Amino acid sequence: MEHRSIGSLRVSVAGLGCNNFGMRIDAAATERVVSAALDAGINFFDTADIYGETRSEEFLGRTLAGRRHRAIVATKFGMAVDEQRKGARPEYVRQACDDSLRRLGTDHIDLYQLHQPDPEVPIADTLGAMDGLVKAGKVREIGCSNFSAEQLDEAARASKPGAARFVSVQNEYSLLHREPERSVLPACERLGLAFLPFFPLASGLLTGKYQPGKPAPADSRLSLSWTSRFTTDKNVQVAEALKAFATARHHTLLELAFSWLASRPQVVSVIAGATSPEQVMANAAAVNWSLTKEDFAEIDRLVVSG
């Protein structure tokens, strides 16, 4: 498995998103998924305090007990756990970190990410609190999520010399959602930030399992009501065209979705969720297609014409 850098961290190019833990799968299934990921060479695990109503961190920490040294653990704070636990005020940043450390059963978080901008708190104040966590040894690197290019620039300007600064940004990016290419990816190049795409499989539409005109499989993410935004007529049409493109080249749509993202210069790790060991192994193997310039041109044509 290839490894790439997020600041001082070296992470596998295929990562594991942990938002299913405690929501769609229980502790025992989480253990099987995490073990399969480690066996497949995945060392990057991305969770958040809100996932599974805090159970994701608990299940991940329990599963990594005794093998924490094999994992790079990323988690997030800032979205509402409840009415009291939310936002990016310095005092809450410290509380949220301690809460996550306890749930994860670890003495440090490798990558601690602000889950979304907090318009009520100056970013300099949040960065100061996060720098304090790094200096205290509780956090190794800091990052952000759901930030615009303008907000990334603002955070860069607010970072003090010698203090911890954002080394990564995690935003939605896939073959079907290419908005980051307009300004966020150029900002990453300009600021030296690693980019981490979430929803790389468009919540399951790019796995190749979805069949147009038929309901999504009952146990799939696409069967959840909030995922309906992914299955628009245009997205389904483009996904089918991309599936045919991949099949003609003896690859799967899943391999195309992963390898296309992994080929982007700023993308460091493609983090996708999984609910079974089989899904983990398929994801880990899906980053090995070396696309050509002609492939990229045809993919762009298919996405635009769709």
Please pick, among 51, 92, 112, 210, the residue that the annotation labels catalytic.
51
Between strands 3-6 and 194-198, the pairing is: unpaired
Identity of the residue numbered 91 = E
List, edge to edge, every strand of the sheet that includes 44-46.
194-198, 166-172, 139-145, 109-114, 72-77, 44-46, 14-17, 270-273
H helices of the chain, where? 27-39, 55-64, 90-104, 123-135, 149-158, 184-191, 233-248, 253-262, 277-285, 293-305
DSSP 8-state secondary structure symbol assigned to residue 213: T
51 included as an active-site residue:
yes
The candidate with the shortest Cα–Cα distance to 298, out of 231, 232, 255, 249, is 249
The two tokens of residue 166 are 């954002």
The two tokens of residue 67 are 């093998």
Q: Rounded to whole angstroms, how far apart are CA atoms 101 and 210?
A: 38
Beta-bridge partner residues of 75: 112
CB atoms under 10 Å from CB of 232, counted, come to: 12
The candidate with the shortest Cα–Cα distance to 279, out of 22, 72, 37, is 37
Q: Rounded to whole angstroms, how far apart are CA atoms 74 and 111?
A: 4
Residues present in the chain in total? 306
Q: Which residues are catalytic?
A: 51
